[in-house]
RNA sequence: CGGGGCGUAGCGCAGACCGGUAGCGCACCGCGUUCGGGACGCGGGGGUCGGAGGUUCAAAUCCUCUCGCCCCGACCA
């Protein structure tokens, strides 16, 4: 492709609208342009990257035995009402009506639509297992779209759905997809990690997320370097501490703590460690009903775990008004002692504490030397906090480490959640009816591109891994002589003939402009052609990522490039 | 939705407090000189100042209301 004839509008300056690296570089490299918040046009360069990722995904899906199809983006409300997700999905579902005022939505995911297809077309165990996938634009009216393609309201996703006869087959299918995902992200050249995850709105039994490791990632994961264990902090199990021998219990005391509304304030005031404090979080769990959750002061509550324990799918902290109404104490001074008519849950870590500190249920008062069950009773114990660095690994006991990641893929074992609600059944060899066991598997295509940039860039621009680079080589004629032009054209021809994806910067620009644009775009190899090099019979090949330079006679360049490109294409796979 | 910020030429910004009819850099068009890391000279084009209403002789500037966008928190590929 010739740059002079390409629509690759690079930007000299950083756009004001983008702060995150991948977003900024995608705009600057002329890959994408914004149409509205969270909605982007893919320009030719961006689309080339998207297509490359898609083709790796397609290849591995096919290899894993999945079949590609294409479901509609628009789907009728009735299907969503069958599974209750019409209501459950809430505002994130983009809804619209047709001219007859019938309700529709733009698909945010397609469990309902495939399950409907399945129940109409599949009757026999002989038709199983079945795995279907598609690569399609999805719509989710995100609360806050951000970071360019990282979290859009409209985005391209690969979604796959598996149907099996029994747990064993389903588990095997799940594993096949898991393995395919590992190959996909290895092949794209990304540094990633599969982690145990929460199932969220999709629901189901078990799930793993595929995280691209990057400091800018929105997700926090914990992992154990000694075993394979890794999990999203939302999900990570915290092992209960060993039971502690009760030591000498000091008598309960009231202390004055003016304005100490937070654990921090309190620790500063009393000159104590946060691990000696127990905070009492009050959650709104019903009409005028609150549930107290006790968490050690230096720990973070994990609302997903609490939610799951309580069997709720929505959880929020009680409003200050409700807190005062129920406990008679203002927010900041709530404690479990004397708290009546409130269910009290406590995180396991609290069981190892003695003589701790809690709110006094009175303005500017805390209680010290508190002990349970002496001073108050706990209704239920459980794992209610977020795992953090240093916690023992549930697998090996070794201290966990934390890392940030970008979630690019997610696999779920759904079980019969959808097949039961929608009546997706098959007959076994005995003529017995069973619900199909399902799995679903997503990959954010645009997000993978963004994650690749987060992981592969420097101060000058993108450094694409070869398998997903929009072009493999860029030719930069840096002086304007006829000899340079001819040599560039000749090499361009030669590389094209060898099926190398080459971008020729034949614009009438000075060398500096071309160098900078090539660096932003991030083509893995740059071939620099100038009068000086021609005179010495030595063209310069620069590796974008390492900056290493190779000097070669013009007639050896094409061959060298072909070998280098081939090698980098296969290195990761 | 809560908190913070921003809408002025294609992009990045100034002008606003203190009303007087819009400016800078880059980009763009023409000619010439240049040409290995974002050249230079001369000439040129381009803006209902996000929108609506109000105050005023006069509004980018003051007031009210709106719309859009970005960043921080609760959702997710």
Tell me the pLDDT tens digit for each residue of A294-352: 999 888 888 888 888 887 766 777 777 777 777 777 777 888 888 877 889 999 999 98
Query: At a CB cut-off of 8 Å and minimum separation 6, what does A476 contact?
Result: A505, A511, A514, A515, A518, A526, A527, A528, A529
Closest nucleotide to A28 by C1' from CA: B11
A205-219 burial, b if ≥16 CB within 10 A, otherwise e? bebbbbbbbbebbeb
Q: Which residues neighbour A328 within 8 Å (Cβ) at sequence distance 6 or greater?
A: A361
Residue nearest to nucleotide B77 (CA to C1'): A444
Amino acid whose CA is nearest the C1' of B25: A13
pLDDT tens-digit profile of A17-43? 888 999 999 999 999 999 999 999 999
Average pLDDT, chain A: 91
Alpha-carbon torsion angle A180, A181, A184, A187, nearest 10: -100
pLDDT 10s digits, A141-172:
988 898 999 999 999 999 999 999 999 999 99
Contact A290, A320 (CB under 8 A): no
* A149-158, A232-241, A258-267, A495-504: least confidently modelled range: A258-267
For residue A517, give both structure tokens: 């644009």
Angstrom distance, A530 CA to B45 C1': 35
Question: In this model, does residue A7 exceed pLDDT 90?
Answer: yes
| CA dist., res. A296 & res. A382, Å (int) | 13
DSSP A169-205: HHHHHHHHHHHHHHHHHHHTT--EEEEE---GGG--S
| Cα separation, A1 vs A52, whole angstroms | 16
Which two tokens mark A353?
A: 């504490």
A136, A142 contact by CB (below 8 A): no
- Closest nucleotide to A409's CA, by C1' atom? B77
Name the residue with the least CA to C1' distance from nucleotide B34. A510
Q: In which band, very low, low, confident or very high, does the pLDDT at A203 lie, cut at 50, 70 and 90?
A: low
**A143 three-class SS:** coil
Instruction: Using the structure, give the distance in angstroms from the CA atom of A264 to the C1' atom of B36, rounded to a whole number.
Output: 59
The spacing between the Cα labelled CA in A432 and the C1' in B73, in angstroms, equals 51
Burial A82-97 (b: 16+ CB within 10 A, else e): bbebbeebeeebbeee
CA at A91, C1' at B69: how many angstroms apart? 21
Contacts of A376-380 spanning 24+ positions with Cβ under 8 A: A376/A336, A376/A337, A376/A338, A376/A339, A376/A344, A377/A344, A378/A294, A378/A336, A378/A344, A378/A345, A378/A346, A378/A350, A379/A343, A379/A344, A379/A345, A380/A309, A380/A343, A380/A344, A380/A345, A380/A346
Please tell me whether residue A345 adopts helix, strand or coil conformation: strand
Our measurement of CA A33 to C1' B50, in angstroms, reads 19
List residues bridging with A254 in a β-sheet.
A367
State the nucleotide closest to A478 in CA–C1' terms: B36
Predicted confidence at residue A200, as pLDDT, reads 60
- Cα separation, A356 vs A369, in Å, equals 5
pLDDT recorded at residue A266: 84
Instruction: Please name the residues in contact with A361: beta carbons below 8 A apart, sequence gap of 6 or more.
Output: A327, A328, A329, A333, A334, A335, A337, A338, A339
A326 Cβ partners below 8 Å, 6+ apart? Answer: A282, A288, A290, A318, A341, A342
Q: Tell me the CA distances in angstroms from A111 to A77, A345, A442, one per residue in order.
A: 13, 35, 11
Protein-to-nucleotide distance from the CA of A16 to the C1' of B18, whole angstroms: 29
pLDDT at A288 over 80: no
Given a cut of 60, whether residue A202 has pLDDT beyond it is: no
Give the nearest nucleotide to A447, CA to C1'. Answer: B77
Chain B footprint positions (protein CB, under 7 Å): 1-2, 11-13, 25-27, 34-39, 68-77
- CB neighbours (10 Å) of residue A171? 15
A144: nt with nearest C1' to CA:
B75
Q: Are strands A461-462 and A457-458 parallel, antiparallel or unpaired?
A: antiparallel
Q: Which nucleotide, over all strands, has the C1' atom closest to the CA of A549?
A: B36
Q: What is the DSSP pairing of strand A473-477 with strand A525-529?
A: parallel
For residue A260, what pLDDT is reported? 80
CB–CB of A156/A408 below 8 Å?
Answer: no
Residue nearest to nucleotide B37 (CA to C1'): A512
Q: How high is the pLDDT of residue A307? A: 81
CA–C1' distance A530–B34 (Å)? 16
Integer Cα distance of A207 and A199 in angstroms: 6
- The verdict on pTM exceeding 0.80 is yes
Q: What share of chain A is helix, strand, coil (3-state, %, to 5)?
A: 35, 30, 40
Query: What is the tens place of the pLDDT at every residue in A372-394?
Result: 888 999 999 999 998 888 899 98
> Is the ipTM here above 0.90?
yes
Interatomic separation, CA of residue A481 and C1' of nucleotide B31, rounded (Å): 21
CA A16 to C1' B5, whole Å: 12
In the complex, which nucleotide's C1' lies nearest to the CA atom of residue A411? Answer: B77
A200, closest nucleotide (Cα–C1'): B76
Distance of CA A172 to the CA centre of its chain: 24
A134/A441 Cα distance (integer angstroms): 11
**Taking 90 as the threshold, does the pLDDT of residue A519 lie above it?**
yes
Q: Give, in Å, how far the C1' of B27 lies from the CA of A506.
A: 19
Question: CA A471 – C1' B77 distance (Å)?
Answer: 25
Task: Return the pLDDT at A182.
Answer: 97
Q: Which residue has the tokens 């104590």?
A: A272
- Other beta carbons within 10 Å of A408: 29
Angle formed by the axes of helices A554-571 and A482-497, nearest 10°: 40
Q: In what order do the strands lie in the sheet with A278-286?
A: A316-317, A278-286, A289-296, A343-347, A380-382
Which nucleotide is closest to A154, CA to C1'? B77
pLDDT in tens, A73-132: 999 999 999 999 998 888 889 999 999 999 999 999 999 999 999 999 999 999 999 999
Q: Kindly report, residue by residue over A406-446, the tens digit of the pLDDT.
A: 999 999 999 999 999 999 999 999 999 999 999 999 999 99
Higher pLDDT, A354 or A133: A133
A84 vs A262: which has the higher pLDDT: A84
Protein residue minimizing CA–C1' distance to B73:
A144
Please state the separation of Cα A503 from the chain's center in Å: 32
């Amino acid at each position: 492709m010739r740059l002079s004839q390409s629509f690759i509008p690079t930007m000299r300056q950083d756009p004001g609208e983008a702060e995150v690296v991948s977003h900024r570089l995608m705009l600057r490299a002329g890959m994408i342009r914004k149409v509205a918040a969270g909605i982007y046009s893919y320009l030719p360069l961006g689309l080339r990257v998207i297509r490359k990722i898609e083709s790796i995904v397609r290849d591995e899906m096919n290899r894993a035995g999945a079949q590609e199809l294409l479901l509609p983006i628009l789907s009728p409300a009735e299907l969503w009402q069958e599974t209750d997700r019409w209501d459950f999905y809430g505002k994130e579902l983009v809804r619209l009506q047709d001219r007859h005022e019938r309700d529709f939505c733009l698909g945010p995911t397609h469990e309902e639509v495939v399950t409907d297809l399945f129940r109409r077309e599949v009757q026999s165990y002989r038709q199983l297992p079945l795995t279907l996938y598609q690569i399609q634009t999805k719509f989710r009216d995100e609360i806050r779209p951000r970071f360019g393609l990282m979290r859009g309201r409209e985005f391209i996703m690969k979604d796959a759905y598996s149907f099996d006869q029994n747990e064993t087959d389903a588990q095997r299918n799940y594993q096949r997809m898991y393995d395919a995902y590992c190959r996909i992200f290895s092949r794209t050249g990304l540094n990633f990690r599969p982690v145990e995850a929460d199932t969220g709105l999709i629901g189901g039994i078990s799930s793993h997320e595929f995280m691209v490791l990057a400091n800018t990632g929105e997700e926090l994961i914990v992992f154990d370097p000694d075993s394979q264990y890794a999990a999203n902090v939302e999900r990570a199990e915290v092992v209960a501490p060993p039971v502690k021998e009760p030591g000498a219990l000091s008598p309960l005391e009231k202390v004055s703590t003016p304005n100490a509304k937070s654990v921090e304030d309190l620790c500063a005031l009393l000159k104590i460690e946060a691990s000696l404090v127990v905070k009492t979080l009050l959650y709104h769990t019903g009409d005028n009903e609150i549930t107290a959750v006790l968490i050690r002061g230096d720990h973070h509550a994990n609302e997903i775990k609490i939610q799951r324990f309580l069997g709720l799918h929505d959880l929020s902290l009680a409003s200050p008004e409700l807190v005062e109404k129920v406990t008679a104490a203002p927010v900041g001074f709530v404690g479990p002692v004397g708290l009546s008519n409130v269910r009290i849950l406590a995180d396991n870590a609290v069981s190892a504490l003695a003589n701790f500190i809690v709110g006094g249920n009175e303005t500017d008062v805390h209680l010290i030397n508190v002990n349970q069950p002496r001073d108050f009773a706990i209704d239920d114990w459980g794992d209610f906090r977020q795992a953090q660095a240093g916690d023992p690994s549930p697998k090996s006991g070794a201290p966990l480490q934390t890392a940030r990641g970008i979630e690019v893929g997610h696999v779920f074992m759904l079980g019969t959640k959808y097949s039961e609600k929608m009546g997706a059944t098959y007959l076994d060899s005995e003529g017995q009816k069973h619900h199909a066991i399902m799995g679903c598997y997503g990959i954010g295509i645009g997000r993978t591109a963004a994650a690749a940039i987060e992981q592969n860039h420097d101060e000058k621009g993108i450094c694409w891994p070869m398998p997903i680079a929009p072009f493999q080589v860029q030719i930069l004629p840096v002086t304007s002589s006829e000899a340079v032009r001819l040599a560039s054209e000749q090499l361009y021809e030669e590389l094209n003939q060898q099926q190398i994806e080459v971008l020729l910067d034949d614009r009438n620009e000075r060398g500096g402009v071309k160098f900078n644009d090539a660096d932003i775009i991030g083509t893995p190899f740059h071939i620099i052609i100038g009068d000086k090099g021609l005179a010495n019979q030595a063209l310069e090949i620069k590796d974008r990522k390492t900056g290493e330079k190779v000097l070669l006679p013009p007639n050896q360049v094409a061959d060298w490039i072909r070998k280098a490109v081939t090698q980098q294409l296969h290195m990761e796979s």
